[in-house]
Structure formats: C-alpha cells, structure tokens
Copies of this chain bind each other. A is one copy, B any other.
Amino acid sequence: MTTVNALNLAEVGSLIGDPARAQMLTALMDGRALTAGELAWCAGITPQTASGHLAKMQTAGLLTMEKQGRHRYFRLSSPTVAGMLESMHVVCAVDTPKRIRPETRMDADLRQARTCYDHLAGVLGVALADALAARSVIDFSGDGGLVTVGGRDFLAGFGLDMAKLEKGKRHFCRPCLDWSERRHHIAGAVGAGLADRLFDLQWIERIKDSRAVRVTPAGRTGLKETFGIDPSA
C-alpha cells in the first residue's frame, strides 16, 4: 500500500526535526539571509556544529547559500519552503493554545537602523542607498558599486574626505546585503565614511549596548533636506 516517496517526507521531516535546525529555519522564515555565524548563535550551538546543519539543509535543497567576502549568507531556497514551514507552524499553533512573543523593542530598533560593522544598515541604511542611487551619486546596477564623478563632488560637499577614503586598500564602495530589509545598503570605505560623518554631525547616535542607532531631531531635518529621507515611521 501507498509507498510513494514517504521516504522523502521522512527526510524533510527529520531535517526540520532537530531543534537547532528548526531554530535556524524559523529565523530564516521571513526571507532574510543570515550568516552562518548568526544562525549558529540563533540556534545556541557552536559554529562548527551549525556548519554541518547548514550543509545538510543546503544539500537537501531547503537552503541556498551566497558567499560574500568571508561571510556566507543562507536563506530559504524558495517561497515554497517558507510556505511549508508556515503550515507546520500552523499545526504547532493549533496544538499549543496560544503563545506568541511580540517583537521586542530591541528587535524593532535594530530593524530600523543599526551599524553593520562600520556602516549603516536597516531601514535607514537601505533608504540612504536608495536616495544616493536616485541622485546618481552611486551606482549599484553593475557587479560592484561605484561612485559617479558627480557623486564624488556630492559626497565631498557633504563633508567626506574622499582623497583619504580613496587611499585605503579596502573596497571603496560596495553593496552589502541587508539582513532585515533584504536589499542592499552601502558598505566599503564610502559606507563607513558616510556613517562616520552622520555620527560626527550628530544626526544619528548609538543606542546603548546595541548595534542599533537612532536618528536625532537634527538628523531628521538634515536627512530630509540633504537626501530626501524621512525616517519617521
């Protein structure tokens, strides 16, 4: 009777059936891409253990991986997988009456604006990248990122020491995948320079004990006037 490919079903089930892997998958359910290290931390296990789990899930086709520098970003391989996880969560929710953890204050802050290494990420970081792209200051359409000739003047006018930034060995202007927005923000020397400048102008300031940053009242007007960004919501 009905043999079908229940074996495959069991394989998929057992992949999800490990607490660490389930934790990772849940963390990835919103479609964001996370690094192997972040996922290890999410699951509460060491990086080497996580690496094995991730490899398994990738081989099985549940995850896809994208290399970016020395980081490896993992995400669910398709909306189909997300849908499956969703339906499994539905069953979980039915089985256990009620228990939803609301998004914490810190989650919300991080999603809004935060530093990513030395540059800006989150809603603010992506908005900044969009604004500069719209003004033809930067161009992310190609493989890497580049600053236009006019853009160089614009950034210099905003107070960035372009000569100094260009001297360094690191990537000059690079798109970086944003984990909360799933879109690119500005990394590299230019990204770091922009963040530095915004801190110097006190348009943004760090939130204590967190990577999150907040926009100051001065920053609100400044960002609006200079970049057309309205970081209100």
Contact = CB atoms under 8 A, between A and B. Distances in A.
Interface of A: 1-19, 21-23, 25-27, 38, 41-42, 60-62, 78, 80-81, 83-85, 87-92, 94-96, 99, 101, 106-107, 110, 177, 209-211
Contacts of A94: 61, 78, 80
Contact of A26 (B2, B101, B110): B2
A110 B5 CA distance: 12
B177 A1 contact: no
A2 B92 contact: no
Of A12, A18, A61, A211, the most chain B CB neighbours within 10 A belong to A12
A8 B22 CA distance: 9
B1 A9 contact: no
Given A1-B210, A9-B22, A27-B1, A61 B95 contact: yes
Nearest to A42: B1
Nearest to A8: B92
A26 B13 contact: no
A72 to B, nearest CB: 17
A58 to B, nearest CB: 12
B22 A16 contact: no
